[in-house]
């Protein structure tokens, strides 16, 4: 069971925002379905939550029970003072800004859900999991908790093209930009994607976690079918072996094609293997040895081998993990 609370707040009386509800709409839509349109998270979408009490209630409900994954996404104003950090609600007053980040983290820490994920697109959100200026220790992150925030505790979060800058990148990551070769999109992959996109002069995302494994937040159709990746152990006897090629692997090296031919001519079994190898090369798992392209490796009877990441996936296949 997977559930997600997605909150966007634009309607602040004194300082309205314009992209947060847009953020919530699209994040909720993406999280609800995988790339192949199968169900993913059961999403509760709440926009313009008016009061601190209501937001606190929603967060409590999100992390209640024993779901496999409970995810909380928030887009709206954030605030930090000498005591701590807050997700700001429209009913804020000078000394009561909203739901404290410490309260949210405590709720997640005490949750019985297996994986608890908090994603915040708000100013100063990186304060969560830090030590406050008043010395309050808010840095305890229990096992199973992951925090991903738009900016550090001293930074504001920007809006571009109707979305928060952070969420714009989050959407790209969830749409497949952060997927691994098997199509899984994990919090770590999302952070790596966003981190590379934001330069040193822009707001910096923050990633904090205490997990023993990464849970996929969304699956997309992999660039190469898993059935081909599972053939790694068939083509390579061990992770350090090389597969000897020859011209029979190249499908155009056939008497049916009008160009110079090299024996041995194209063989159907070998050309099918070679088609798989070229796809695996395309996602960085296989590399030709001594030649720039697989075509020349075959025509010149060279070999190919697994890359470093290819060896990792060979081991996953060998261990039955894929």
Whole-number Å distance between alpha carbons of 246 and 68: 49
- Give residue for tokens 């999280």: 31
List 79's β-bridge partners, or say none: 86
- Where among 219, 245, 275 does a domain terminate? 219
pLDDT score of 262: 83
Q: What is the pLDDT along the chain (322 residues), one digit of tens a residue?
A: 999 999 999 999 888 988 899 999 999 999 999 999 999 999 999 999 999 999 999 999 999 999 999 999 999 999 888 888 899 999 988 889 999 999 999 999 999 999 999 999 987 676 776 655 444 445 688 999 999 998 766 556 666 666 678 899 999 999 999 999 999 999 999 999 998 888 776 778 888 888 888 899 999 999 899 999 999 999 999 999 999 999 999 998 877 766 677 889 999 999 999 999 999 999 999 999 999 999 999 999 999 999 999 999 999 999 998 8
My answer on whether 198 and 120 are in the same domain is yes
Number of H helices, E strands in the chain: 10, 16
Q: What's the CATH number where 152 sits?
A: 3.40.50.1460
**pLDDT attached to residue 136:** 47
What pLDDT score does 115 carry? 96
Of 165, 195, 219, the one marking the end of a domain is: 219
249 and 278, same domain (yes or no): yes
Please provide the DSSP assignment of 112-132 as one string. Answer: -SSEEEEEEESTTGGGTTSB-
Q: Does one domain contain both 230 and 193?
A: no
One domain, residues 239 and 307: yes
Q: What is the pLDDT of residue 253?
A: 83
Q: What is the domain count for the chain?
A: 2
Cβ–Cβ contacts within 10 Å for residue 227, how many? 8
State how far the Cα of 8 lies from the Cα of 170, in Å rounded to an integer. 15
* Whole-number pLDDT of residue 133: 46
Co-location of 95 and 195 in the same domain: yes
> Strands 85-93, 78-80: parallel, antiparallel or unpaired by DSSP?
antiparallel
77 token code pair:
């104003």
Strands ordered across the beta sheet of 242-244: 242-244, 303-306, 286-289
Same-domain status, 173 and 30: yes
pLDDT at site 233: 95
- How much is the pLDDT for 148? 93
User: Is there a single domain that holds both residue 128 and residue 186?
Assistant: yes
Give the pLDDT of residue 219: 96
Name the residue range of residue 147's domain.
Answer: 2-219
* Cβ(113)–Cβ(69) below 8 Å: yes
Q: In this structure, are 256 and 272 located in the same domain? A: yes
Give me the pLDDT at residue 50, please: 95
CATH of the domain at 307: 1.10.10
44/144 same-domain check: yes
| Of residues 181, 153, 25, the one with CA closest to residue 82 | 153
Judgement on whether residues 205 and 232 belong to the same structural domain of the protein: no
Q: Looking at the whole model, is its pTM more than 0.75? A: yes
Are 288 and 304 a contacting pair, CB within 8 Å?
yes
Q: Among 160, 186, 219, identify where a domain stops.
A: 219
Q: Are residues 189 and 243 in the same domain?
A: no
> In terms of domains, do 205 and 283 share one?
no
């Amino acid at each position: 069971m997977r559930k997600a609370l997605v909150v966007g707040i634009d309607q602040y009386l004194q300082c309205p925002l314009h992209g947060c509800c847009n953020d919530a709409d699209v994040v909720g839509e993406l999280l609800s379905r995988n790339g192949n349109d199968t169900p993913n998270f059961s999403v509760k979408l709440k926009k313009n939550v008016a009061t601190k009490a209501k937001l606190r209630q929603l967060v409590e409900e999100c992390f209640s029970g024993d779901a496999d994954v409970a995810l909380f996404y928030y887009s709206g104003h954030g605030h930090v003072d000498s005591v701590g950090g807050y997700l700001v609600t429209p009913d804020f007053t000078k000394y009561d800004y909203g739901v404290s980040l410490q309260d949210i983290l405590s709720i997640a820490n005490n949750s019985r859900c297996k994986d608890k994920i908090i994603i915040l697109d708000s100013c100063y959100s990186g304060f969560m999991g830090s030590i406050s200026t008043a010395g309050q220790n808010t840095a305890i992150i229990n096992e199973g908790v992951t925090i991903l925030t738009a900016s550090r505790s001293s930074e504001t979060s920007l809006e571009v093209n109707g979305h928060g800058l952070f969420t714009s990148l989050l959407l790209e990551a969830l749409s497949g930009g952060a997927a691994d070769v098997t199509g899984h999109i994990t919090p770590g992959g999302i952070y790596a994607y966003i981190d590379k996109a934001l330069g040193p002069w822009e707001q910096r995302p923050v990633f904090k976690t205490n997990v023993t494994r990464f849970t996929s937040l969304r699956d997309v159709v992999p660039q190469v079918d898993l059935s081909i990746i599972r053939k790694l152990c068939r083509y390579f006897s061990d992770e350090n072996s090389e597969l000897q090629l020859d011209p029979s692997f190249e499908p155009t090296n056939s008497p049916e094609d009008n160009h110079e031919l090299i024996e041995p001519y194209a063989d159907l079994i070998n050309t099918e293997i070679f088609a798989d190898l070229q796809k695996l090369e395309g996602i960085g798992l296989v590399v030709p040895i001594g030649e720039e392209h697989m075509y020349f490796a075959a025509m010149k009877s060279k070999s190919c081998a697994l890359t470093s990441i290819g060896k990792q996936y060979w081991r996953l296949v060998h261990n039955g993990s894929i």
